[in-house]
Amino acid sequence: MKLLIVDDMKSFLDLERAFLRRADCRLLTAATGLEAIKVAQTEKPDLIILDIEMPELDGIQATRILKANPGLASIPVVIFSSTSRKDEALAAGAQEFISKPVDEDRFLEIILKYVPLKFRKEERKETSLRCVFTFEHGQGEGRIADISVSGLLLATDAPMMVGQPVKLFFSLPVDAIDKEIQAEAIVVRKATGGYGLGFSYISEGAKLYLADFVKG
């Protein structure tokens, strides 16, 4: 299963990658409409996820070209955008138009309408680890309510927004020592009791310690 994600904003690409971190699929990316057409012609993805406002060729123009190509016309196109151009997007041939911002649950609900993705089951561990985090305009702290190798549920009073990147600092009690962990994550959803975060970067060594902690 191949998904093509098209957006000129790295922050949105990172967020959508985080949404799909547990999905058994190959993620392809492009930053412009022209790139999207080239990648689609070469890779024949099962689904194309497009933004509208991009340089060179916007998402609506790209959709028209994709749908006019007999070899690509059957590929579903879903447009996620902060614009109000829904009617144009659907008239161009997009199967669906979704307004940004969107959280993980809503994003996956839409994607699963068009592709039968399978998701890796991950063991999670309930805990109450203190976590300090920093973000663009400040810092905060909270408690990790549960954790897996791909993300965690953070209980905190600090206001956070879906799509917000954060740097995390916490300790794992593994093998009678406290292992200091640093990781980068993205807020993927507002959850009961806190926020769901997906790791965007965690070192392979830290991931091994985390896997040991979860299993233990």
The residues spanned by each domain of the chain are 2-111, 125-215
Confidence of residue 19 (pLDDT cuts 50, 70, 90): very high
What's the fold here for domain 2-111?
Answer: Rossmann fold (3.40.50)
Residue-wise pLDDT for 183-194, tens only, equals 999 999 998 889
Average pLDDT score, the chain: 94
C-beta separation of 154 from 164 below 8 A: no
156 backbone dihedrals φ, ψ, rounded to 5° = -155, 155
Class of 125-215 in CATH: mainly beta
Q: Read off the tokens for 72.
A: 């690509």
Confidence of residue 56 (pLDDT cuts 50, 70, 90): confident
d(CA 114, CA 130): 40
Residue-wise pLDDT for 105-134, tens only, equals 999 999 999 999 999 888 999 999 999 999
The pLDDT of 38-63, averaged and rounded, is: 95
**Residue 13 belongs to what H/E stretch?**
helix 10-19
